[in-house]
Structure 1
Amino acid sequence: MATNQNLETDNTSEPLIVQQKDDELLEIHSDGMWMVCLSTFVSVFGAFEFGSCVGYSAPTQFGIMDDIGLSLAEYSVFGSILNIGAMIGAISSGRIADFFGRKGAMRLASTICIIGWLAVYFATGAILLDLGRFIMGYGIGILSYVVPVFISEIAPKNLRGALATANQLLIVIGISVAFTVGAFVNWRILALTGIVPCIILLVGLCFIPESPRWLAKVGHQREFEAALRALRGQNANISQEEAEIQDYIESLQQFPKVTIIDLFHKKYIRSVIVGVGLMVFQQFGGINGIVFYASQIFVSAGFPPNVGNILYALLQVVVTAVGATLIDRAGRRPLLMVSASGLLAGSLLIAMSFYFKTFQYFPKSVPILALAGVLLYIGSFSVGMGAVPWVVMSEIFPINVKGTAGSLVTLVNWLGSWVTSYTFNLLVTWSSYGTFFFYAAICAMALIFIFKVVPETKGRTLEDIQASMNS
């Protein structure tokens, strides 16, 4: 542990952050803080790529259908096959990240996405087009797991939430950029722009360290110490943090290799319930139905879709950025509670707008309720349920099960995304207002789940969180 004398005599590099907890003193010098920020900046281009892939299909629908001659059903396959690829990528993401390292997994995923984009660019028929979209899905299935895990493993505990939330911020920015650029260029050019974040990520990874915790896990002692020092500053005292990580890794070596079945053992079941539960409520609360069909909702309710979509895109980016500034101040649980409450209220407003439209009540209020409901829903999702489940997922699992457990949680997320997207039109056909009352009921259950089950992880080391979760 650093002494006061150490701090007084080291005038060349004053600690940028000194965090006291009981006897623990954590130093992060300015050069270390710069490297943490650079590493986060580079890695979140994986999240930007995620958003680019997800946002690609909406502005390109009519261009692709006209140029290649796809039917609506064939284009629906093209749009949805991304989720299938992502589910397969999610299954393998943890193993890949554990075997190749966090940086190696991001390199592999970026390369896969580039191949997918090129396949789409050169496609002259449905087969190559769908294959490219599937390959892209596989790549972002890996990225959706490894980016938040990498950030959580390199970040100091008092900044971990804010830095990890940058992952969700770049996803929504990627979606917004794809929508905006897609309005001005054809679908082949837009496919080429999707390669840009992959190239930036591949180049940037050459200049940042690997996750110290992964290096310690695989026994690369010298590289572990060098990476931790780069992330905390060359003159920082890293002895205590280094010892904590090493002790934790050594204790984990006593456990056998973990399979999916082992995750349901008493030792890990609480973490699995929290991680999987948050993803279930994140997706089955209706987010993808609202995101993918926002224009349809506005039209059905009688509100101009272009105005609604612009307001929606701006709100999503701004509120996600606000959430990033609050997560390490307010904490994970409060943001999740506020978010789930807003999702509940937004779903009810949308449901009421369709109810009034169906039964011809208060017709002038229908567009206002629809707009208010969608914007409240999107704003609430962006401030909490969009980003925080990924942050919590990256914090609650011990490193010996993080690969397997992360794959399971990510798979559940993508499966929920596909189910919600696939069933939305069927539900709306059954009952427009009933669909959103159904989503409201799920959001109400999410509120109870967060209050009863989800722990607060703000300001705690990963080792502390995992010990308390899995004891």
Structure 2
Amino acid sequence: MAIEEWKELENGDHGDLQNPLMPTQEEQQENGSLQMLYLSTFAAVCGSFQFGSCVGYSAPAQAAIREDLNLSLSEYSMFGSILTIGAMFGAVTSGRIADYIGRKGAMRMSAYFCIIGWIAIYLSEESLSLDIGRVLTGYGIGVFSYVVPIFIAEIAPKNLRGRLTTLNQLLIVTGSSVAFLLGTIVTWRTLALSGLIPCTTLLVVLFFVPESPRWLAKVGQEKEFLSALQRLRGKNADISAEAAQIQNYIETMQSLPKTKLVDLFQSRYIRPLIIGVGLMVFQQFGGINGIGFFASETFASAGPSAGKIGTIAYACIQVPITVGGVILMDKSGRRPLIMVSAAGTSLGCFLTGASFFLKNHGLLLEFVPVLVVVGVLIFIAFFSIGMGAVPWVIMSEIFPINVKGITGSIVVLVNWLGAWVVSFTFNFFMSWSSSGTFFIYSLISLMTILFVVKLVPETKGKTLEEIQASIDSQRDI
């Protein structure tokens, strides 16, 4: 590859956008075949699809489950919300599990939990077995939410890492949309059985893909490490430089004392931990789960004409916009993408808040339904393009491998805790002040921009080891 072409690649020029996930001809010649990389990524994002399926299951199944099992609204609300409780437990244990049994082992275990959970839901005749099944699937996706982006980040070359890691969010959105649409045409028990498909697919494909090379190097399996890296880069690729860089970094990390929870407050680790936790706080407290879970009610509260149109548009817009984020991830960089996304979510919340303000004061009532729909759609479009995916990408990139398990668990736990808090409090806030609720979310999105400007590094075009060196150098300034 010519020097000029390499510089273009480092600056984010990845060739023809008609095939945004495919390497250029020059990349293929340099790296060999990347088929195993794509197969490994496909296996991982089956877990992301499962994540989306679990989240999207409860809404279309609500009426039928309540009727068939004679459940009260409170009993079904418990069934729907207990997913996040299971996910929090999954988040707490995910890092240690992935460090102990490997990234593939953690994904296998998560799939087994989800399979058992779906079968329990399918066989349920009362609320207890429903809740048990929901907790088990919640635990599984709690682990998936950590290990999938970590695995993809550790297997991908630096020029493809952003786009491939963003597929995690794309498949979550796709899984949720598919569950929602499929739930309108099949029974709730059949919908539960459909949740077995991504799990079984993942289990089968994992037999044919290698473990994360960085994890193998970390646990001292040098022969397996080199073999896995060679398979991922292609049999004709020269992996010597990348292998040496990974091994040198691992040796440096392993020379450090064993990390305890209190050690995370050392200057070496506190900066990436603040970045990871901060991004998840801003992602969740910007209102995504409150707005997403109760979008239909929000549209309906603005006026009957907004309900159906808004709900259909909301369901249709997420997937194509998230695809746009996949294309832009390694083209524009992480920092610009998340700042543009946060600015857009702030605008969407402001417009929605303004519409409710007008409604409450009896002003321009004919424009209120349109303004609510436009505001929420702007919010979800800009969230899908950056705020949904970028925090997970950055989380998978910024932590040293010797603390990645414990720090990753903390970050994922914060994310799930935030999801529960926002979804639980949304209706209370709306009862207090519908316009004030969205104005608060708008302000939090603006604060996200300031946080990114001050603390978040650009990770595009850098290896995971180069990112650590960059964070360390900023700490020393």
CA contact (8 A) 2:162 2:329 kept: yes
CA shift, 1:470, in A, is 3.5
Looking at structure 2, the residues matched to 278 and 260 of structure 1 have their Cα atoms a distance apart, in angstroms, of 20
Residue of structure 1 in register with 2:16 after alignment: none
User: Secondary structure at 2:235's aligned position in 1?
Assistant: coil
Deviations along 1:266-295, one digit per CA (max 9) or x if unpaired, are 111110011000000000000001110000
In the alignment, structure 1 residue 221 sits paired with structure 2 residue 222: yes
Residue of structure 1 in register with 2:364 after alignment: 362
Residue of structure 2 in register with 1:84 after alignment: 85
CA contact (8 A) 1:144 1:410 kept: yes
Residue of structure 1 in register with 2:102 after alignment: 101
**Which of residues 25, 28, 32 in structure 1 aligns to 2:31?**
28
Deviations along 1:87-122, one digit per CA (max 9) or x if unpaired, are 010000000000110101000000000001011111
**Which of residues 352, 355, 372 in structure 2 aligns to 1:353?**
355
User: Secondary structure at 1:207's aligned position in 2?
Assistant: coil
Matches within 5 A, 1:106-125: 106-125=107-126
Looking at structure 1, the residues matched to 458 and 168 of structure 2 have their Cα atoms a distance apart, in angstroms, of 20
Looking at structure 2, the residues matched to 27 and 150 of structure 1 have their Cα atoms a distance apart, in angstroms, of 23
Q: Which moved more, 1:58-67 or 1:386-395?
A: 58-67
- Letter paired with 2:387: M
**Which of residues 434, 442, 445 in structure 2 aligns to 1:443?**
445
CA shift, 1:254, in A, is 1.1
Matches within 5 A, 1:293-304: 293-302=294-303, 303-304=305-306
Residue of structure 2 in register with 1:462 after alignment: 464
Q: Which moved more, 1:103-112 or 1:435-444?
A: 435-444
Looking at structure 2, the residues matched to 58 and 305 of structure 1 have their Cα atoms a distance apart, in angstroms, of 16
Unmatched segments (≥5 aa) in structure 1: 1-13, 20-25
Runs of 4+ in 1 over 4 A off after TM superposition: 14-19
CA contact (8 A) 2:43 2:202 kept: yes
Residue of structure 2 in register with 1:6 after alignment: none
In the alignment, structure 1 residue 206 sits paired with structure 2 residue 207: yes
CA contact (8 A) 1:271 1:397 kept: yes
User: Secondary structure at 1:439's aligned position in 2?
Assistant: helix
Looking at structure 2, the residues matched to 257 and 297 of structure 1 have their Cα atoms a distance apart, in angstroms, of 49
User: Secondary structure at 2:211's aligned position in 1?
Assistant: coil
Looking at structure 1, the residues matched to 439 and 447 of structure 2 have their Cα atoms a distance apart, in angstroms, of 13
Residue of structure 1 in register with 2:340 after alignment: 338
Looking at structure 1, the residues matched to 439 and 111 of structure 2 have their Cα atoms a distance apart, in angstroms, of 40
Matches within 5 A, 1:59-74: 59-74=60-75
Looking at structure 1, the residues matched to 88 and 397 of structure 2 have their Cα atoms a distance apart, in angstroms, of 22
Looking at structure 1, the residues matched to 27 and 45 of structure 2 have their Cα atoms a distance apart, in angstroms, of 26
CA contact (8 A) 2:306 2:370 kept: no
CA shift, 1:69, in A, is 1.3
Matches within 5 A, 1:114-193: 114-193=115-194
CA contact (8 A) 2:122 2:189 kept: yes
Residue of structure 2 in register with 1:398 after alignment: 400
CA contact (8 A) 1:89 1:139 kept: yes
Residue of structure 2 in register with 1:196 after alignment: 197
Matches within 5 A, 1:256-405: 256-302=257-303, 303-405=305-407
CA contact (8 A) 1:351 1:436 kept: yes
Residue of structure 1 in register with 2:255 after alignment: 254
Residue of structure 1 in register with 2:20 after alignment: none
CA contact (8 A) 2:299 2:306 kept: yes
**Which of residues 414, 417, 420 in structure 1 aligns to 2:419?**
417
User: Secondary structure at 1:459's aligned position in 2?
Assistant: coil
Looking at structure 2, the residues matched to 386 and 47 of structure 1 have their Cα atoms a distance apart, in angstroms, of 13
Looking at structure 1, the residues matched to 400 and 44 of structure 2 have their Cα atoms a distance apart, in angstroms, of 22
CA shift, 1:256, in A, is 2.2
Q: Which moved more, 1:48-57 or 1:439-448?
A: 439-448
Looking at structure 2, the residues matched to 338 and 386 of structure 1 have their Cα atoms a distance apart, in angstroms, of 12
Looking at structure 1, the residues matched to 259 and 417 of structure 2 have their Cα atoms a distance apart, in angstroms, of 22
User: Secondary structure at 1:455's aligned position in 2?
Assistant: coil
State the TM-score, normalized to the length of structure 1: 0.94
CA shift, 1:16, in A, is 4.8
User: Secondary structure at 2:31's aligned position in 1?
Assistant: strand
- The aligned length equals 450
CA shift, 1:17, in A, is 4.5
User: Secondary structure at 1:400's aligned position in 2?
Assistant: coil
Deviations along 1:165-193, one digit per CA (max 9) or x if unpaired, are 00000000000000000001111110000
Looking at structure 1, the residues matched to 394 and 26 of structure 2 have their Cα atoms a distance apart, in angstroms, of 23
CA contact (8 A) 1:120 1:128 kept: yes
CA shift, 1:15, in A, is 9.5
Deviations along 1:31-55, one digit per CA (max 9) or x if unpaired, are 2x11111111121000000000000
CA contact (8 A) 1:93 1:142 kept: yes
Superposition RMSD on alpha carbons, in Å? 1.4
CA shift, 1:264, in A, is 1.7
Unmatched segments (≥5 aa) in structure 2: 1-22
- Letter paired with 1:410: V
State the TM-score, normalized to the length of structure 2: 0.93
- Letter paired with 1:318: P
CA shift, 1:62, in A, is 1.0
- Letter paired with 1:392: I
User: Secondary structure at 1:268's aligned position in 2?
Assistant: helix
CA shift, 1:336, in A, is 0.3
Residue of structure 1 in register with 2:11 after alignment: none
